[in-house]
Amino acid sequence: MGVAGFVKTTLQDWEGKSSCLISLGGCNLRCPYCNRPGLMERGGDMDTAPILGYIKENRDFLEAAVVSGGEPTMDEGLYRLLGELKKLKLKVKVDTNGCFPDVLDDIVGARLADKVCVNVMAPLDDASYSRAAGTEVDARLIRRSLDILRGSEAPYEIRTVIVPGVVTHESFVRMLKDLDGTRSMVIQQFDPRGAAGPMASAVPYPVPALVRMAETAKGYIERVRVRGV
Ligand code: SF4
């Protein structure tokens, strides 16, 4: 199990829920704008026992756990961790990049997640996706993950970071066409803090550009929110 980070309480990672955040190290993608570059490589070695102990002790105010990354569905210990969190009667959200549909299918099928958030970063074709992800991606995997979630009872949402130079209004509209019928989307403002390399000095789009994207998104998606502005 590669636990690389633990935040005891956060109100930002699951809207309306007092949550803890468990981050698993390691990711198959190399997004140039990643704001957790330290979690791309495997290497988390935190012991889960004290984390679960803390949750147990503070269960009266902690409603939920968010399991994030890196990419948590790469970690073989994920099922066990989710099972332990469910035993503690927490609501559980899993954040994923959607590249491992079989794992997602198992998690959703076993009702180990009460919510799934998929980071979708580009239109769902190999060329666009690979450019955004900084490595080769078979976009059919992301499509399959989305199909699994559409066919499941688990609530899910799409999160898209509006990265300058990576997401344009035109590419965003193409992406929306691929996501047509999705119930919930978060349009996330890019935050250069924490990004590595040239992206650390990239200037986020002005707020009106994100608001315009949100208005466009409402033509395809039921519930659209803008976050981080
Ligand atoms: S999928 Fe997420 S964790 Fe992985 S490189 Fe991209 S932004 Fe970073």
Q: What is the pLDDT of residue 43?
A: 67
CA 57 / ligand 1 centre spacing (Å): 32
Q: Which residues contact 78 (CB under 8 A, 6 or more apart)?
A: 24, 67, 72, 103, 107
Does position 180 have pLDDT exceeding 90, yes or no? no
Helix (H) or strand (E) holding 207, with range, is helix 207-217
Q: What is the pLDDT of residue 44?
A: 85
Binding site membership of 34 for ligand 1 (Cβ less than 6 Å): yes
Does position 155 have pLDDT exceeding 80, yes or no? yes
197 falls in which pLDDT band (50, 70, 90)? confident
Q: How far apart (Å, rounded) are the C-alpha atoms in residues 189 and 167?
A: 11
CB 89 within 8 A of CB 16: no
Does position 25 have pLDDT exceeding 80, yes or no? yes
Q: What is the pLDDT of residue 57?
A: 97
Tell me which of 15-24, 37-46, 117-126 is least confident. 37-46
Does position 36 have pLDDT exceeding 90, yes or no? no
User: Which atom of ligand 1 is nearest the CA belonging to 161?
Assistant: 7
Does position 215 have pLDDT exceeding 90, yes or no? yes
Backbone angles phi, psi at 220, to 5 degrees: -120, -30
Q: Averaged over 204-215, what is the pLDDT? A: 96
Binding site membership of 72 for ligand 1 (Cβ less than 6 Å): no
Q: Averaged over 119-147, what is the pLDDT? A: 97
One-letter amino acid for residue 119 of the chain: N
Q: How far apart (Å, rounded) are the C-alpha atoms in residues 10 and 139?
A: 32
Q: Averaged over 59-79, what is the pLDDT? A: 96
Query: CATH code for 3-227?
Result: 3.20.20.70
Binding site membership of 70 for ligand 1 (Cβ less than 6 Å): yes
- The residue whose C-alpha atom lies closest to atom 3 belonging to ligand 1 is 70
The percent of residues above 90 in pLDDT, for the chain, comes to 85
* Average pLDDT along the chain: 94
- The residue whose C-alpha atom lies closest to atom 7 belonging to ligand 1 is 34
Q: Which residues contact 85 (CB under 8 A, 6 or more apart)?
A: 52, 55, 65, 67, 92
Q: Which residues contact 225 (CB under 8 A, 6 or more apart)?
A: 185, 186, 187, 214
CA 73 / ligand 1 centre spacing (Å): 12
Q: Where are the domains of the chain?
A: 3-227
164 falls in which pLDDT band (50, 70, 90)? very high
Q: What is the pLDDT of residue 39?
A: 87
Question: Inter-axis angle of helices 48-57 and 78-87, to 10 degrees?
Answer: 20
What does pTM read for this prediction? Answer: 0.95
Q: How far apart (Å, rounded) are the C-alpha atoms in residues 183 and 217?
A: 11
> In the structure encoding, which two tokens stand for residue 135, read together?
């490595």
Does position 38 have pLDDT exceeding 90, yes or no? no
